[in-house]
Amino acid sequence: MANDVKPTRKNLMEIEDRIDLSERGHDTLEQKRDGLIMEFMDILDQAQDVRDKLEGDYDTAQDKINKARAMEGDVAVRGAAAALKEHPEITTQSKNIMGVVVPQIESSKVRKDLDERGYGVLGSSARIDEAADAYEELIESIILAAEVETAMKKMLEEIETTKRRVNALEFKLLPDLNENKEYIEQKLEEQEREEIFRLKKIKAKKEEEEKEEEAEAAAEAEAEALEAGVAESDD
């Protein structure tokens, strides 16, 4: 509160420095917030495309696996799935977007040739191969969706944090600092007016004393002159 601040020149200078620093910090955070929102909107557009593709890939994979079961039977489909020896490998790295660390997911061994699936060319059929292709495509879409969705979440959290900091500076810290500044300036002006008034009173009193001294001196000189005149007339 303003009343808790000592109205001194030193405190005024310190508050002015804090206001300047806070205003520069506020501008920097606003720029960061706006930049993050622009980046988030780009990721949001990408996320919508990824979601649409994921839904399409899921529907395609379901359609392909249902056809394979209908034509080849559950035993053949499950046997082909069980024959798979190498599973996809997922690695995560990170990248920096305007100070926000977001994951970058990389995968390997998702896409496989026919001879890498384990069930062999002779033990398979075109429908099982198509279902396998569709599910490999679906897995890649899931991995990409996980990366984009996580990036969106982290970006949104950073935007909210930055917005809170901007609002704290704009609606709390800066108003409080400016209120303290105005309070100190007002008190210093009052002190200055009181000091000027006090000096004027001292000056007026001094001038009055000087006039009284001059009047007394004049009176004494007049009295001495009168006495001297009387003495001469007696002679």
The reported pLDDT for the residue numbered 166 is: 96
DSSP 38-92: HHHHHHHHHHHHHHHHHHHHHHHHHHHHHHHHHHH-HHHHHHHHHT--PPPEEEE
Contact in structure between 185 and 12 (CB atoms under 8 Å): yes
The reported pLDDT for the residue numbered 226 is: 72
The reported pLDDT for the residue numbered 177 is: 95
Q: Which of 196, 177, 189 is nearest to 9 (CA)?
A: 189
**Which phi and psi angles does 111 have, rounded to 5°?**
-80, 130
State the angle between helix axes of 126-168 and 9-72 in degrees (0 to 180), rounded to the nearest 10: 170
Angstrom distance (rounded) from CA 79 to CA 128: 10
Which domains does the chain show, CATH number per domain?
9-156 (1.10.287.3240)
- Three-class DSSP category at 124: coil
The reported pLDDT for the residue numbered 77 is: 82
The reported pLDDT for the residue numbered 156 is: 93
The reported pLDDT for the residue numbered 119 is: 65
Residues (pLDDT < 70) of the chain are 1-3, 109, 113-124, 227-235
Token pair of 67 as six digits: 């056809």
Residues 6+ apart with CB under 8 A from 121: 114, 115
Q: Which of 63, 36, 40 is nearest to 148 (CA)?
A: 40
Q: What's the pTM?
A: 0.71
The reported pLDDT for the residue numbered 120 is: 61
Angstrom distance (rounded) from CA 80 to CA 207: 116
Contact in structure between 100 and 155 (CB atoms under 8 Å): yes
Angstrom distance (rounded) from CA 43 to CA 174: 33
The reported pLDDT for the residue numbered 13 is: 94
The reported pLDDT for the residue numbered 29 is: 95
- Predicted confidence (pLDDT) per residue in 66-81, tens digit: 999 999 888 888 887 7
CA distances from 29 to 4, 154, 169, 191 (A): 29, 17, 10, 38
Query: Residue 19 belongs to what H/E stretch?
Result: helix 9-72
Angstrom distance (rounded) from CA 203 to CA 209: 10
